[in-house]
Every structure is written in structure tokens, then in C-alpha cells.
Amino acid sequence: MTTPLPDFALALPEIVLLAGACALLIFDLFARGERREGSVRFAGLVLLATAAATLFVLLGTGGALAYTFNGLYVADVMALLLKLGATLAVALALAYSRRYLHDRGLLKGELLALLLFALLGMMVMMSANSLLTLYLGLELLSLCLYSLVALNRDSPVSTEAAMKYFVLGALASGLLLYGMSMIYGATGTLTITEVARQVANLQANSAQHGFLVFGVVFLIAGLAFKLGVVPFHMWIPDVYQGAPTAVTLVIGTAPKLAAFAMAVRLLVNGLLDLAADWQQMLVILSVLSMAIGNITAIAQTNVKRMLAYSTIAHMGFMLLGLLSGVVGGNWLNAAEAYAAAMFYTVVYVLMSLGAFGMLVHLSGKGFECERLEDLKGLNRRSPWQAFIMLLLMFSLAGVPPTAGFYAKLSVLSATVAAGQIWLAVVAVLLSLVGAFYYLRVVKLMYFDDPAETAPALEGERDARVLLSANGLALLVIGIVPQPLMGLCFVAIKSL
């Protein structure tokens, strides 16, 4: 029996990115100048080439489902669109934080290489059709993020955050691996599509079914850690606060797209016939995340920590879409619900890029803009930047006509269509609680006097333009959400 040759063209984005990241390591050895202009431009070219390769594969396949590497790798519309989103997020994060990193002596070749390798891990996760491939991508991403958090070796806070992240991440990886081993023991395969076939053939009262459900519990635990939902959220506030703001910008954005892809591959592609079992777990995780995230964020005085608890609440909201797809064995609502969850995740990443990007932009040399007091009187110092921050806060709070409002509306509509009306009511009430701390930021910017220690606003012109486009994009998507929602629907239908 001969093994068919893999179709390398389907994995062209990963091949281009891997080759570019390795070339960057060599190129940086000969780069001169403290600002690392050459290395930054080289990294930008690699990201541009990766995006072009992704578009090439998307247009070449015509949106058709394709497998390669003996079924370990899948190229579908969802994976390719998420890859484009993750590439754009990393590129924007690099553009926003270039001056910040240079001022603190962190703009080095190893940081750029770690960013590219982290993106490679995300891409592998997005196209994984095997539990083993999924885990390899996850660990590549995780190891790069641990290193990025600890990159500022002179900061004890960053080192402590990296240690917490590493220890808790290792624990979550152990739980995930144990769950995968039980899935393999019950089905005899690591390929996700084969797992789905085996699960569909199991009897509901069989011993294998109980074994599978037990394994799903551990899978959900590992997945919950990567999403950052309660009760596996302990690392998020400490890591977000302890890491340099530019690194927090990376951790809080693109990896959420990879975590969403991981959830879809495991729960929708592989274990959809066990939806009645994992949906109940997601209900608990969702409600706890929205409650603890929104309520705890009110007490925070550090903006990064406040946005960390906001992340927990938003990921709980996103889970509403994932748990609303299949109701009582009825799959009619599945595509709409999962598309709403994907739309919510994409919009959340766009909002986080703007919010953390603005904090990076407002941070000067020797000054970290991370306390609520640092935003006082921003409207008097820079009315346009205050307006963009207002759009970002309104979108995070779900105020119309921003994209955040439509994202929440679409997820709530899917929840109501699934008959989970009580869950939708709880989500709305907790969203009202969460609106307080977002509107508090607006109040500080527009109605309070600037702090005496507030430095003069600097920042590169390119970053200002991109931040403006980021904020205005949320307004445009909120007014005309159909194109992006249509893409998400097509992506889910391609699975």
C-alpha cells in the first residue's frame, strides 16, 4: 500500500510563514540600527506574503472542502478566513506597538520571530483535522506566548506573570491531552472526521458513550482555559496586567480566533452527536463567565485588568452561540448559531485590537497608560483619539449602532431561537452591568480634568491612522453588518 503524496499547495500559507520566520532569524543577525527598521519591514513582508498565499488557496479551492497530509490537515473557508483575520490582527498589533517596543528596548528579532511562530501555531490549529495536529499547533502557540510575556526580563511583574501562565498552561494542556486520550480510547482514531463517524454509531447507553462523555469533560476544561472562561480564567487578569502592553495586545486578539477554531473543530466537527452533553457544560461556563467577568471588572482601577475581566465576559457571551446550535437533536439552527459565534469572535478581536492599541499609543517613553486616571481629560488633549476610544468602549458595551451591538444581538437571537430564553435574559442583564465600567471610561475622558502627570501625546502617524480606521470600522460594521455576517455563514456552511 502506497501513501498518496500530500497536496502542499493547500498548506501554502503555513509554508510561506515558516520559511519567512526562519529567514527573519537569519536576516536579523545582519540588521543594524536600534529601531530594527529592516527587521520590522521584513516581518511585514512575511505577513503580507502569508495573507497573499491564504487568498491564493481560498481562490484556488473555490471554497471547496479539501484534505491533505493523510487527513491530518483540512483547508476550508472557515480556516482560511480565520487565517486572514489572524494575520491582519498580528500585523496591526505590530504596527500599533512598534514605537512602544522601541522605547522600552524590546523591539528585537526574537520578538518578531516569536510573533510569526505564534501565528504559525494559530494557523495549524485552524486547519487541524486531527487531535494530534490540533495539539501541536496549540503548543507551538502557547510556548511562543509564554516567551513573549517573559521577554522583559528586567521586570519582576512580567516574569511572575509568565510563570503563572506557564504553570497553568501546562496544567490545561495535561487536561486536554487526557481528554484526547480518552476520546482515542473510545473511538480508536485521532482524526476528527473519523471521531465524528464513530460517535454517530455509538449507542446512547453503551459503556463507550459514558467513556466518551468523561473524556469530553476534560476536553472542555482544556478548551475553557484557552478561551479564558470561568473557572479556568485565573491566568487572564495577571497575564494581561503583568505583560508589556504590546504583548497583551497580541495575547488578547489573534489567539481568540484560534481558540474559536479549536472549539469548532472539537465540538462541532468531531463531537456534534454529543451536543446534548457538552451544551450543558457550556451553559454553566457561559453564565459564570458573564457574571464574574462583568461584576469583577467594576472594581478594577487598572485598565488592562479591567479589559481582562471584560475578555472573560465576552468569551462567555460567545459561548452562547456555540451552545445554541443543536437543540434536542434538531440541527436547523446550527449554521446561524455558529455563524453568530464566529461573527462575535471576529468583532471582539477587532474591538480588542483598538482598545489595547489605544493604550499602547497613549503610553509614552517611561510612562505606561494602564490606570483609569491616565485617561482623564483625554478629550481636551486629543479630541479625535478620545472619539475613537469612545467608539471602542461603546462597541465593547454593545451600544448601537456599533458592531458590538449587532454581535450581541445576533448571538442573543440564536439563543432565543434555541429556546434558551432564560439564558438570553441573563445575558442581557449582565451586559447592562458590564456597560457601567465601559461608560466610566467615557466619563473620565470627557468630563474629568486631565491628570497633572499626563504626558504630551506622541505616537507615530501610521499608528494613529490605523487606530482611526480600526475604530471607524466598528461603526461601519455595526451599520452594515451583512457582508461580514455573510462571510461567517458561508464559512460555517463549508464545514
How many C-beta atoms surround the C-beta of residue 422 within 10 A?
10
- Examine residue 2 and state whether it is found in any structural domain, yes or no: no
Q: What tens digit of pLDDT does each residue of 427-454 get?
A: 999 999 989 999 999 999 888 887 665 5
208 Cβ contact partners less than 8 Å away, ≥ 6 residues apart: 186, 202
Domain assignment of residue 17, given as a range:
8-493
All three cell numbers of 30, joined, read 545582519
Q: Are 374 and 451 in contact (CB under 8 A)?
A: yes
Does a cis peptide bond (omega within 30 degrees of 0) precede residue 231? yes
- Examine residue 417 and state whether it is found in any structural domain, yes or no: yes
- What gap in Å lies between CA 85 and CA 67, rounded to an integer? 21
- Examine residue 3 and state whether it is found in any structural domain, yes or no: no
- What gap in Å lies between CA 358 and CA 381, rounded to an integer? 14
Q: Are 134 and 128 in contact (CB under 8 A)?
A: yes
Q: Are 260 and 345 in contact (CB under 8 A)?
A: yes
71 Cβ contact partners less than 8 Å away, ≥ 6 residues apart: 129, 130, 191, 193, 194
Mean pLDDT of 6-25: 90
Q: What tens digit of pLDDT does each residue of 87-130 get?
A: 999 999 999 988 888 888 888 888 899 999 999 999 999 999 99
Give rounded-to-5 percent helix, strand, coil for the chain. Answer: 75, 5, 20
Mean pLDDT of 336-349: 93
pLDDT greater than 50 at residue 194: yes
Length of the chain in terms of residues written: 495
- Examine residue 331 and state whether it is found in any structural domain, yes or no: yes
- Number of domains making up the chain: 1
pLDDT greater than 60 at residue 185: yes
- Examine residue 139 and state whether it is found in any structural domain, yes or no: yes
How many C-beta atoms surround the C-beta of residue 334 within 10 A?
21
- What gap in Å lies between CA 11 and CA 16, rounded to an integer? 9
- Examine residue 86 and state whether it is found in any structural domain, yes or no: yes
Helix/strand/coil (H, E, C) string of 403-458?
HHHHHHHHHHHHHHHCCCHHHHHHHHHHHHHHHHHHHHHHHHHHHCCCCCCCCCCC
- Examine residue 1 and state whether it is found in any structural domain, yes or no: no
- Examine residue 79 and state whether it is found in any structural domain, yes or no: yes
Q: How far apart are the first and last CA of the chain?
A: 30
